[in-house]
Structure 1
């Protein structure tokens, strides 16, 4: 009987440890839906994702949907904010470290003309070609609050 309790306890502990895996999930383009607007996620350049501290993943068709979702969600529960890198489609980058460009010459799924870049240098190169305004994460959040 003690052996059964011992193994049951170990199994429960292992399940608990592996069930709260806090990491991004790949977006299944053309299949996954945006948690905020419910559109199917098809744009491989502008998608975004939030991962909570408990490992729950919320996927979005655009960074602007993620920001709008954040207005309704307790930010203290969020571990990761991720956006697709404009220069590397499908690659999720840390949105809090990204540089963002709002340019009317780069449409995004929800019409905010918002794109994320892993480096400020990449964003500036595209800004030279397409125009627009650059933002860091905090500036972007303030822009969408106003």
Structure 2
């Protein structure tokens, strides 16, 4: 009987730990829809996810859609904010770790010409080839909120 109690407690702890998981869920490109604009997510470089502190995942076809959703939904409790990035499409990085390039020579799904890069060096390399302006996450939020 004591053994069964230990197993039951272990299972309960397992489910409680996973209930508030703020890890990403893979985007099913071509099938998942953007939570903000409702377009089907097909672009593997520009997708993003907002994960609440309770583990609910909102998927977006572009970082600008996620930012628009965040601006309209002030009361959401954020656990994690992730974006796909140029160097490894379909992979995620935290937005606060990314460097963002806005360049009209690198289109994004919603027309903001916004692309994330894993490192500033990678972003600067592409910027030197195609032009544009670099932003960190905080500067990007400020820039886009003015539009």
Task: Give the TM-score normalised by the residue count of structure 1.
Answer: 0.90
Which segment is superposed worse, 33-42 or 17-26? 17-26
Deviates more, 1:72-81 or 1:102-111: 72-81
Matched, 1:133 2:133: yes
DSSP 3-state at the match of 2:84: strand
2:28 matches 1:28:
yes
SS at match of 2:90: strand
1:119-130 to 2 correspondence within 5 Å?
Answer: 119-130=119-130
Check if 1:86 corresponds to 2:107: no
- The TM-score with structure 2 as length reference comes to 0.89
3-state SS of the aligned residue for 1:21?
coil
State the distance in 2 between where 1:141 and 1:52 align. Answer: 19
How do 1:66-105 and structure 2 match up within 5 A?
66-74=66-74, 77-105=77-105
SS of corresponding position for 2:139: helix
**Matching residue of 1:58:** 58
Deviation, 1:13, is 4.4
SS in 2 for 1:121: helix
Tell me, in whole angstroms, the C-alpha distance in 1 between the residues paired with 2:99 and 2:20. Answer: 30
The residue number in structure 2 matching 1:143 is 143
Structure 2: tracts of 5 or more residues without a match: none
Q: Output the CA distance in 1 between the equivalents of 2:56 and 2:70.
A: 14
Which whole-Å CA distance do the structure 2 matches of 1:94 and 1:22 have between them? 12
State how far apart, in whole Å, the 2-side matches of 1:75 and 1:134 are: 29
Partner SS state of residue 71, structure 1: helix
Q: Could you tell me how far 1:52 is from its partner in structure 2? A: 1.0
Question: In the aligned structure 2, how far is the partner of 1:135 from the partner of 1:103?
Answer: 11
- Stretches (4+) displaced over 6 A: none
